[in-house]
Structure 1
Amino acid sequence: METILEIKGLSKEFYLHAQNRLIKSCRDISFALNKGGFIGIVGTSGAGKSTVLRCIYRTYLATTGSVIYDSLSYGKLDLIKASEQQIIHLRKVEIGYVSQFLSILPRTTAKEHVISGALDAGFSYEESVKKAEEMLRYFRLNENLWDIYPNTFSGGEKLRLNLAHAMVKAPRLLLLDEPTASLDNNTKILVKELLMKLKGEGTSMIGIFHDLEFMEGLCDHVYNITEGRFKNEKEAS
């Protein structure tokens, strides 16, 4: 199968100047993601799981290694060496990221936030409004909240808004950092069903999960990360 993402020898270190201390977060990570595939990453808190995703998304700049992404816009591109302009473009139109924490521009309502995601993906304004409303309804965000600034939302509402903003794009590559952390079981089912739908439509995904039951039937491969390293790989059930 064709690969959309190939990671070789990825490592990330942090230097704490105040303590004169070097922290090795993830070390010598290598794996490949097939187009339309889903890789799950598990491990204890602090093992380096989120660091791997942030190096792919370029929130962190990796210390060593390569992250080769087969993009529509630029062909095969090492995301570690890509320019800021290239990264910004890819985040808008090709790569989605869902974290537990909401990041939104000031004075932007919940509905505007999701509309902006669809606009970035290239949909017209009319299409973007329609898709945003459909996605907000899907994640059961009450219409009374659509025109409100989300800083007052509960943790679960903010996470559902994050999911709506990322998934409305139907990105080619979707990175998921604990996307069900503060969700109730019914909403988890909605998330899983939509992820299965996106996967069926060709979206490639990497996800971090503590809920192993949620991963069943979703991931093609599962990697276990311990003390910054991948310890084993198994075929997902």
Structure 2
Amino acid sequence: MEQILEIQGLAKQFFLHEQGREIKSCKDISFTLAKGGFIGIVGTSGAGKSTVLRCIYRTYLATQGSVVYDSLSYGKLDLVTADERQIIHLRKVEIGYVSQFLTIMPRTTAKQHVIDGALDAGFSYEESVVKAEEMLRYFRLSETLWDIYPNTFSGGEKLRLNLAHAMVKAPRLLLLDEPTASLDNNTKLLVKELLMKLKKEGTSMVGIFHDLEFMEGLCDQVYNISQGSFQKSREVS
């Protein structure tokens, strides 16, 4: 089976220069993700789960190891050594990231944020508007919120907007950092249904979850991260 992501010996340390301290966040992380596959990551808070995702997305620069991504734009590319121009391009058109926290340009409305995601993926403006409205309705964000700046939104509304922005692109690789953390059960079902649809259409995914029930029927492999290192806890047949 073809691999879209191959991670070998990934490690990340943080240096607190003022205190002369080194904090080891994750180490010896190695795994491969098949095209169209879904890997779930579980583990205690502070074990390094989010660090792994951020090293893939390159918001953190890994201290050691390689993260080889089989891109459409550049072929096989080590995201650890790729230049900033390549990383920015891949984030726009190939790699999506859903965080618990909303990051948005100032004076950007909720609807425009999702439209921008579709535009980045290469859709025309007219297509982007249609896709954005479909996605906002899917995640049950009231039309009264569409033209409002999201800094006033609740935590659940911000997370739904994050999901809409990332998923409107239908990216080749989707990274999910606790995508259901502040959602009610009905919205969790919407997220799961859309993830299963994206997977069926070929999107490859790596996700962090505390809700083990949510992962059932979704993940092909589940890894447990403990004290910064990785162990495969199970493989779903």
Measure the CA separation in 1 of the matches of 2:151 and 2:206.
28
- Give the corresponding residue for 1:176: 176
> Aligned-pair distance for 1:236?
2.9
The question of whether the paired residues in 1 share the 8 Å contact of 2:221 and 2:232 is answered with no
Q: Report the residue type matching 1:152 in the other structure.
A: T
Which residues of structure 2 form unaligned runs of 5+? none
Measure the CA separation in 2 of the matches of 1:52 and 1:28.
11
- 1:73-222 equivalences under 5 Å are 73-222=73-222
- Confirm whether residue 7 of structure 1 aligns to residue 13 of structure 2: no
The question of whether the paired residues in 1 share the 8 Å contact of 2:176 and 2:208 is answered with yes
The question of whether the paired residues in 1 share the 8 Å contact of 2:48 and 2:228 is answered with yes
Measure the CA separation in 1 of the matches of 2:230 and 2:121.
33
Secondary structure of 1:96's match?
strand
Measure the CA separation in 1 of the matches of 2:90 and 2:220.
25
- Give the corresponding residue for 1:34: 34
Q: Report the residue type matching 1:128 in the other structure.
A: S
Measure the CA separation in 2 of the matches of 1:82 and 1:3.
19
Q: Report the residue type matching 2:73 in the other structure.
A: S
The question of whether the paired residues in 1 share the 8 Å contact of 2:15 and 2:22 is answered with yes
> Aligned-pair distance for 1:17?
1.4
Displacement over 4 Å in runs of 4+: none
The question of whether the paired residues in 1 share the 8 Å contact of 2:174 and 2:204 is answered with yes
The question of whether the paired residues in 2 share the 8 Å contact of 1:216 and 1:236 is answered with no
Q: Report the residue type matching 2:103 in the other structure.
A: S
Which digits, 9 at most, give the CA deviation of each residue in 1:45-98, with x for residues without a partner?
Answer: 000000000000000000000000000000000000000000000000000000
Measure the CA separation in 2 of the matches of 1:19 and 1:83.
31
Q: Report the residue type matching 1:215 in the other structure.
A: M
> Aligned-pair distance for 1:234?
1.1
Secondary structure of 1:207's match?
strand
> Aligned-pair distance for 1:157?
0.1
Q: State the aligned residue count.
A: 237
Q: Report the residue type matching 1:229 in the other structure.
A: S
Measure the CA separation in 2 of the matches of 1:206 and 1:104.
23
Q: Report the residue type matching 1:170 in the other structure.
A: A
- Give the corresponding residue for 2:232: 232
- Give the corresponding residue for 1:63: 63
Measure the CA separation in 1 of the matches of 2:234 and 2:65.
23
Which residues of structure 1 form unaligned runs of 5+? none
> Aligned-pair distance for 1:231?
2.7
Secondary structure of 1:170's match?
coil
Measure the CA separation in 1 of the matches of 2:17 and 2:89.
33
Measure the CA separation in 1 of the matches of 2:127 and 2:24.
45
> Aligned-pair distance for 1:18?
2.1
- Confirm whether residue 43 of structure 1 aligns to residue 43 of structure 2: yes
The question of whether the paired residues in 1 share the 8 Å contact of 2:98 and 2:162 is answered with yes
TM-score normalised by L of structure 1: 0.99
Q: Report the residue type matching 1:126 in the other structure.
A: E
